[in-house]
């Protein structure tokens, strides 16, 4: 450090000065370009977020938003001591319905993202191979992703319907099941049904991102491996996977963020089943259906914190880099 | 600053422009089922021709729970895009602040309606909405099948279960593999609250929260009623009934795949329409009775009303529309075309209705004895009460805990929600 700074003192200072002037003007112009976006973000994301956090510390109700009074942490946790000396806790942090929703969300996110990653990888590997009509197949595979979630969820809810649904009809005719299954009604299959639809819908997205990563892998590495006679499976784990890993990690985090705030699919398929109720669904219910706007705000705030912490942990533990990886 | 005033100016002129153009441009929301939207449109065309106003229908999902969430949000935001709302009978106390008081506008016609219905739409002395039609469910049964197997129309739930089982099994053996004994609304939503309230009340188990605010649901009769309903699922009712709303049950029924159905009167007209597999093959009866002390036939009071948003930009025209949609003319048309029950007393003696929709005069007594959901005593907390109730019922029906356990838990939760002596 000391030698670096001491020996070529003048030129460095000179270049630094030039650089810093250049940098200054660059930073200044960059700021101007960024301001519209920052302003838009502040209006559409920052302000609602702050307001939701504010409401979570009040007793606001939807009929009287502006008459809200500050109540501190009461929505999160409060306790009263009864005459008998017993203390009763209430609030979000001790609400079993909320923790059930958190657990549902985490379970949904982990299972759906893992399966989507594996299937997406397989699809991407297939699409990366040279074959006739690859362009058409690539376009076709994107269709589920292009359909709006509400439409695909409604479509699946009819397909999964126990009496008229094509899934039951298909399985019955194939002899896979002996009687019609009520997919979305039964507590045991509700989550499975939601997972099936989500995986169907978002695997293309995963495949596309991985495919982009795969196409960055230099071809000569494979050639070298083939000349050395390395087994294809080994090539995949030793060459392909490490090289697409940066792209994969970014794809996974996108999906994880998306899965943690899942709402539309569940709202259409199984809106009130406690087996699939997620954090977003339960907070919407409190915000609008029940007269508990403040409590729903507290849930939204906690949802935001949980996602923020999970994302930070993921980036930190996974050493994810958003600048295109280390190649 | 300049930019700000420019934007403000633009916004102001845009609003002014819209206001001028919207002088008589009304919007009404409707989440009607079956061909209800079509009917509404035909009536609105009449209104347009009579008054020169233009009315746009904004279609909504048919689930009342879904509609309520959306309306609540719009109204809280002071949305002026919607002028007239179709409201469920249970919403009046919850949305009273956001709707105009119709007492003055309707003072000449209010006396034509059943007083109990007007009362249900009055909150704190304010007439929140005008009734468009009322609802009380029926037991739909297949005349042909009961005749074929020599059965009479069941008057108790156990008779219904026995008959349904026998006919279902015999029909299945005869090759109709999709035949079900009984379909109802078992999805976890407001409709299940209606269905389950009927079971509980028919067993003499009270009405969840009594009119004076007491929580009465945790009792042996209520538990017996729910255990009975649980025994249907997977035997006479398909497992999927736990995800059915009105339209799904009507789907099964109208394909000719059910012996009995619990549904609202709207299904009567649709079931007799062209293309219906049960056209002319069915009739309706009051819902069966339970067993034990206080057993009776019980029907949950439903019905829809017309309310005017206080954020409407043309409140006078909007009120005219509300009056029109609740008028004798429209209610008669509605009764004839939709088999919806009128809220106007005189229509029950109307000769055209008696000829066209014989179910309606017969239904007067059923609906006069109908059980209201506890929306009046629980006020703004009604939705949560209902949600807790339907969750407890849904858990019971899907085998997640016994009825007694779930009702005990429900009572604890309701007590906590009530929080003190009054709701």
Q: If you average pLDDT over each of A66-70, A222-226, B310-314, which comes out highest? A: B310-314
Nearest-angstrom CA–CA distance, A293 and A279: 15
Cβ neighbours, 10 Å, residue B37: 16
Whether pLDDT at B2 is above 70: no
Q: If you average pLDDT over each of A178-182, A265-269, A275-279, B199-203, which comes out highest? A: B199-203
Quick one: pLDDT at residue A314? 84
User: Average per-residue pLDDT in chain B?
Assistant: 89
Percent share of chain B, pLDDT over 70: 94
Residues 159-178 of B with CB under 8 A from A: 178
Residues 96-115 of B with CB under 8 A from A: 97-98
CA–centroid distance for B360 within its chain = 17
pLDDT tens column, B56-110? 999 998 888 889 988 988 998 899 999 999 999 999 988 998 999 999 999 999 9
Whether pLDDT at B34 is above 80: no
Beta-carbon separation of A291 and B240 below 8 A: no
Quick one: pLDDT at residue A15? 55
For tokens 């074929």, the residue is B148
Q: Which two tokens stand for residue B159?
A: 């008779």
The phi, psi pair for B28, rounded to 5°, reads -125, 140
A33 touches chain B (CB under 8 A): no
Beta-carbon separation of B188 and A186 below 8 A: no
| Nearest residue, CB atoms, B398 vs list A163, A186, A285 | A186
Q: Which residues of A touch B248 (CB under 8 A)?
A: 161, 163
For tokens 């009702």, the residue is B407
Whether pLDDT at A2 is above 50: no
Q: Which residues of B touch A184 (CB under 8 A)?
A: 243
Nearest-angstrom CA–CA distance, B363 and B152: 20
Whether pLDDT at B146 is above 50: yes
Quick one: pLDDT at residue A76? 93
Whether pLDDT at B343 is above 80: yes
Whether pLDDT at A150 is above 70: yes
| Nearest residue, CB atoms, A164 vs list B65, B76, B251 | B251
Residues 184-203 of A with CB under 8 A from B: 184-187
Quick one: pLDDT at residue B180? 94
CA distance A288 to chain B (A): 5
Q: How many CA atoms lie within 13 A of A55 on its CB side?
A: 25
| Nearest residue, CB atoms, B76 vs list A62, A270, A271 | A62
Q: Distance of CA A42 to CAs A57, B9, B11, Å?
A: 21, 23, 21
pTM: 0.81
| Nearest residue, CB atoms, B68 vs list A271, A284, A289 | A289
Q: Which two tokens stand for residue B236?
A: 């006479």
Q: Are A247 and A213 in contact (CB under 8 A)?
A: yes
Beta-carbon separation of B242 and A163 below 8 A: no
Whether pLDDT at B392 is above 90: yes
Residues 117-136 of B with CB under 8 A from A: none
Q: Distance of CA A7 to CAs A10, A13, A18, B123, Å?
A: 9, 11, 19, 87
The phi, psi pair for B208, rounded to 5°, reads 70, -75
Whether pLDDT at A321 is above 70: no
CA distance A72 to chain B (A): 20
Count of H helices and E strands in chain A? 15, 2
Beta-carbon separation of B383 and A291 below 8 A: yes
pLDDT tens column, B41-58? 999 999 999 999 999 999
- Top pLDDT among B231 and A18 is at B231
Q: Are B28 and B57 in contact (CB under 8 A)?
A: yes
Beta-carbon separation of B243 and A272 below 8 A: no
Chain B residue with minimal CA distance to A187? B398
- Top pLDDT among B210 and A82 is at B210
Q: Which two tokens stand for residue B14?
A: 């845009």
A158 burial type by CB count under 10 A (0-12 exposed, 13-18 middle, 19+ buried):
exposed
Chain A residue with minimal CA distance to B253? A163
Q: Are A181 and A189 in contact (CB under 8 A)?
A: yes
Whether pLDDT at A203 is above 60: yes
- Top pLDDT among B370 and A83 is at B370
Q: Which two tokens stand for residue B169?
A: 């099994």
What ipTM did this prediction achieve? 0.75
CA distance B242 to chain A (A): 5
Give buried/exposed letters for B275-284 (b at 16+ CB in 10 A, else e). ebebeebbbb
Quick one: pLDDT at residue A323? 60
Q: Which of B240, B390, B420 to mutate to test the interface with A (most CBs of A within 10 A)?
A: B240
Quick one: pLDDT at residue A111? 96
A288 touches chain B (CB under 8 A): yes
Beta-carbon separation of B188 and A161 below 8 A: no
What is the side-by-side strand order in the sheet with B180-183? B180-183, B258-263, B138-142, B282-285
Convert chain B into a string of H (helix), E (strand) and C (coil).
CHHHHHHHHHHHHHHHHHHHHCCCEEEEEECCCCCHHHHHHHHHHHHHHHHCCEEEEEECCCCHHHHHHHHHHHHHCCCCCCCEEEEECCCHHHHHHHECCCCCCCCCCHHHECHHHHHHCEECCEECCEEEEEECCEEEEEHHHHHHCCCCCCCEHHHHHHHHHHHHHHHHHCCCCCCEEEECCCCCCHHHHHHHHHHHHHCCCCCCECCCCCECCCCHHHHHHHHHHHHHECCCECHHHHHCCHHHHHHHHHCCCEEEEEECCHHHHHHCCCCCCCCCCEEEECCCECCCCCCCECCECEEEEEEEECCCCCHHHHHHHHHHHCCHHHHHHHHHHHCCECCEHHHHHCHHHHHHCCHHHHHHHHHHCCECCCHHHHHHHHHHHHHHHHHHHHHHHCCCCCHHHHHHHHHHHHHHHHCCCCC
Chain A residue with minimal CA distance to B97? A63
Length of chain B, in residues: 423
Percent share of chain A, pLDDT over 90: 39
For tokens 């109730």, the residue is B389
Quick one: pLDDT at residue B148? 94
Across B162-184, average pLDDT: 94
The CA-to-CA distance between both ends of chain A, in Å, stands at 27
Q: pLDDT-derived band of residue A104, with 50, 70 and 90 as boundaries? A: very high
Domains and CATH numbers, chain B: 2-135+302-368 (3.40.190.10), 138-300+373-418 (3.40.190.10)
Across B137-155, average pLDDT: 95
Whether pLDDT at A196 is above 90: yes
Angle at CA of residue B209, ends B203 and B215, nearest 5° = 100
pLDDT tens column, B192-219? 999 999 999 999 999 999 989 999 999 9
User: Average per-residue pLDDT in chain A?
Assistant: 86
B242 touches chain A (CB under 8 A): yes
CA–centroid distance for A256 within its chain = 3
Q: Are B366 and B299 in contact (CB under 8 A)?
A: yes
Beta-carbon separation of A180 and B416 below 8 A: no
Map residue A209 onto helix, strand or coil: helix
Nearest-angstrom CA–CA distance, A154 and A159: 9
Helix (H), strand (E) at residue A293: helix A293-318
Chain A to chain B Cβ contacts (< 8 Å): 93
Across B371-378, average pLDDT: 90
Across A170-197, average pLDDT: 88
Beta-carbon separation of A289 and B72 below 8 A: yes
Across B394-400, average pLDDT: 91
Pick the closest to residue B82 from B28, B44, B132, B21 (CA basis). Answer: B28
Q: Which of B396, B398, B400, B420 to mutate to test the interface with A (most CBs of A within 10 A)?
A: B398
Beta-carbon separation of B186 and A182 below 8 A: no
């Amino acid at each position: 450090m000391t030698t670096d700074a001491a020996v070529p003192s003048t030129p460095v200072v000179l270049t630094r000065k030039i650089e810093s002037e250049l940098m200054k003007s660059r930073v200044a112009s960059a700021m101007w370009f960024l301001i519209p976006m920052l302003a838009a973000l502040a209006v559409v994301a920052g302000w609602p977020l702050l307001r939701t956090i504010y409401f979570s510390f009040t007793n606001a109700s939807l009929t009287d938003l502006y008459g809200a009074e500050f109540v501190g942490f009461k929505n999160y946790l409060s306790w009263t001591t009864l005459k008998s000396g017993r203390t009763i806790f209430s609030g979000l942090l001790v609400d079993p319905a909320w923790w059930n929703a958190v657990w549902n969300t985490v379970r949904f996110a982990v299972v759906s993202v893992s399966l989507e990653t594996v299937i997406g990888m397989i699809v991407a590997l297939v699409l990366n191979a040279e074959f006739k009509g690859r362009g058409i197949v690539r376009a076709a595979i994107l269709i589920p992703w292009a359909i709006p979630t509400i439409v695909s969820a409604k479509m699946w809810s009819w397909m999964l319907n126990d009496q008229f649904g094509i899934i039951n009809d298909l399985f019955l005719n194939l002899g896979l099941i002996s009687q019609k299954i009520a997919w979305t009604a039964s507590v045991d299959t509700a989550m499975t049904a939601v997972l099936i639809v989500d995986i169907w819908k978002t695997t293309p997205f995963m495949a596309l991102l991985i495919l982009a990563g795969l196409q960055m892998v230099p071809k000569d590495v494979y050639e070298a491996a083939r000349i050395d006679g390395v087994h294809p499976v080994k090539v995949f784990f030793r060459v392909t996977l490490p090289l697409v890993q940066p792209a994969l990690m970014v794809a996974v985090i996108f999906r994880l963020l998306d899965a943690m705030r899942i709402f539309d699919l569940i709202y259409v398929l199984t809106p009130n089943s406690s087996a699939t109720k997620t954090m977003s669904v339960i907070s919407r219910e409190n915000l609008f259906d029940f007269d508990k706007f403040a409590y729903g705000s507290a849930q939204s705030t906690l949802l935001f914190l949980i996602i923020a912490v999970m994302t930070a942990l993921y980036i930190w533990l996974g050493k994810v880099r958003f600048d295109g990886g280390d190649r | 600053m300049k930019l700000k005033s420019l934007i403000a100016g633009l916004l102001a002129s845009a609003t002014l422009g819209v206001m001028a153009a919207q002088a008589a441009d009304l919007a009404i929301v409707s989440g009607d089922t079956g061909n209800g939207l079509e009917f509404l449109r035909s009536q609105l065309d009449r209104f347009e021709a009579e008054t020169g106003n233009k009315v746009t229908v904004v279609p909504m999902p048919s689930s009342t729970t879904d509609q309520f969430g959306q309306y609540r949000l719009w109204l809280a935001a002071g949305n002026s895009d919607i002028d007239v709302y179709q409201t469920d009978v249970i919403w009046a106390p919850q949305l009273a602040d956001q709707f105009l008081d119709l007492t003055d506008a309707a003072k000449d016609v209010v006396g034509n309606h059943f007083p109990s219905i007007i009362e249900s739409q009055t909150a704190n002395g304010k007439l929140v909405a005008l009734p468009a039609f009322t609802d009380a469910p029926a037991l739909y049964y297949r005349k042909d099948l009961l005749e074929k197997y020599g059965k009479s129309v069941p008057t108790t739930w156990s008779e219904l279960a026995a008959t349904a089982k026998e006919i279902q099994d015999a029909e299945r053996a005869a090759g109709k593999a999709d035949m079900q004994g009984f379909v109802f609304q078992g999805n976890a939503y407001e409709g299940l609250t209606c269905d389950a309230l009927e079971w509980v009340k028919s067993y003499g188990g009270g009405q969840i929260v009594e009119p004076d605010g007491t929580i009465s649901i945790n009792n042996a009769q209520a538990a017996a009623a729910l255990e009975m309903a649980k025994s249907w699922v997977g035997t006479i009712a398909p497992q999927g009934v736990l995800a059915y709303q009105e339209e799904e049950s009507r789907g099964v029924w109208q394909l000719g795949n059910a012996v009995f159905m619990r549904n609202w009167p709207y299904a009567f007209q649709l079931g007799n329409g062209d293309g219906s597999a049960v056209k002319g093959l069915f009739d309706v009866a009051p819902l069966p009775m339970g067993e034990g002390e206080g057993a009776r036939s019980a029907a949950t009071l439903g019905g829809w009303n017309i309310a005017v948003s206080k954020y409407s930009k043309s409140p006078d025209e909007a009120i005219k529309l509300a009056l029109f949609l609740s008028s004798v003319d429209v209610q008669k048309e509605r009764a004839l075309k939709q088999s919806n029950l009128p809220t106007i007393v005189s229509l029950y003696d109307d000769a055209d209705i008696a000829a066209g929709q014989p179910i309606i005069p017969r239904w007067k007594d059923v609906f006069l004895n109908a059980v209201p959901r506890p929306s009046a005593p629980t006020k703004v907390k009604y939705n949560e009460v209902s949600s807790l109730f339907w969750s407890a019922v849904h858990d019971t029906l899907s085998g997640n805990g016994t009825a007694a356990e779930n009702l005990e838990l429900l009572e604890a939760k309701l007590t906590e929600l009530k929080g003190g002596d009054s709701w």
